[in-house]
Amino acid sequence: MTHAYGNRSGVRYMTGGLKVYYVPWRPFLMQNTLPTFYGTLPIIRTILIRERISLVHGHQAFSTLCHEALMHARTMGYKVVFTDHSLYGFADVGSIHMNKVLQFTLADVSQAICVSHTSKENTVLRSGLLPEKVFVIPNAVDAAMFKPAPERPSSNDIVIVVISRLVYRKGADLLVEVIPEVCRLHPNIRFIVGGDGPKRVRLEEMREKHSLQDRVEMLGAVPHAHVRSVLISGHIFLNSSLTEAFCIAILEAASCGLLTVSTRVGGVPEVLPDDMIILAEPDPRDMVRAIMKAVSILPRIDPQVMHDRMKKLYSWHDVAKRTEIVYNRALKCSNQNLIERVSRYLSCGAWAGKLFCLVMIIDFLLWRLLQLLQPAGDIEEVPDFILPHQHQESEVLEDFKEQCLG
């Protein structure tokens, strides 16, 4: 379930029987919908009942739809799981506000998932969630989609690839200082920069200032389907993030056989073995040193060997198995009554706890009102979706039964 994207609204069926509900809520900022607290309760309740849902899994701390869905699901007695993909601080206004919202949401969550051990520590500190409720399940990469090129481009140049949103948090300002120095030290290095954002202007100004138009190629936004074609044109992947919970871009680059140079921040040191990545402090001089080290060891890197290692290290099938374990644990959690939930919210702060309780109690009363106006029995449940091969199997079984009975 997600919000509407452009003209895409309503129910869509995807490959393999996946059904997507595009709730007719329009995003207003950074693909987020306007917080309504209770505006989404009727439609979320209808979807959960229609689809005979057992468990609700929400993603991303900055998704207002996620927070509202988890709150409504707990009010209706469903088990909920939350996954956090990002790291946030404790000092700036946005993080302080978001941490309190996260504390409210996770006060009543069944289980939680983080993508790295660093992310788990961060989430536990921000939300006050019990560590034993938080599981670490890293992201993975589809190795079949990210294969190295049969042969590297025949050129004496060394190509460094950057694919990232060009924003402050992703270290775009670091690139402005690192790229000219690397080009000065090594005349055979070229850069390919994919991505867009408010910091793109600074990179273009840097390219003009140092006359690097022939050595720094700016691609703009790169669709995910074209990421591999950009990666296989390079030798080194550069990640300059200032904060990162995991960084799936590093997995995609390593699967394509690129040696990675990255800032030592967040959960990045947990992602790849030491011989597949060179880490540097988020400082221009240290990053230049790391790039020069990567250039020196590049001849010893075999892209196909690196790709084969990535297939064994990271698999979405493994992620699915581990997530299923978390789901089973969540389903075994005991349901809490209203009084127990109130006590948990009250522990969230002197004044915030009382505010959280008020929000939750109003949500409970609105849910009971909806139960009276539209009983669950009046909501039609959808039929089970049968895949084509399952449909053929069922027809064969029916024919066999008729023959036996005949």
Model confidence, pTM = 0.85
Give the count of alpha carbons within 13 A of 373, CB side only: 9
- Specify the pLDDT at position 281: 95
Q: Which amino acid is at 26?
A: R
Confidence of residue 398 (pLDDT cuts 50, 70, 90): low
Query: pLDDT tens digits, residue range 303-353?
Result: 999 999 999 999 999 999 999 999 999 999 877 777 778 888 888 888 888
Query: pLDDT tens digits, residue range 139-153?
Result: 999 999 999 988 776
Handedness of CA 218, 220, 221, 227 (dihedral sign): negative
| Strand blocks (E) in 264-357 | 277-280
Query: pLDDT tens digits, residue range 46-93?
Result: 999 999 999 999 998 778 888 999 999 999 999 999 998 888 777 777
* Phi, psi for 108 (deg, rounded to 5): -125, 20
Q: How many CB atoms lie within 10 A of CB 18?
A: 9
What single DSSP character describes residue 225?
G
What single DSSP character describes residue 152?
-
Q: Which residues pair with 217 in a beta bridge?
A: 192
Instruction: Map out the domains of the chain with their CATH numbers.
Output: 35-138+318-378 (3.40.50.2000), 158-314 (3.40.50.2000)
| Strand blocks (E) in 227-332 | 236-239, 259-263, 277-280
pLDDT over 70 at 209, yes or no:
yes
How far apart CA 375 and CA 199 sit, in angstroms, is: 52
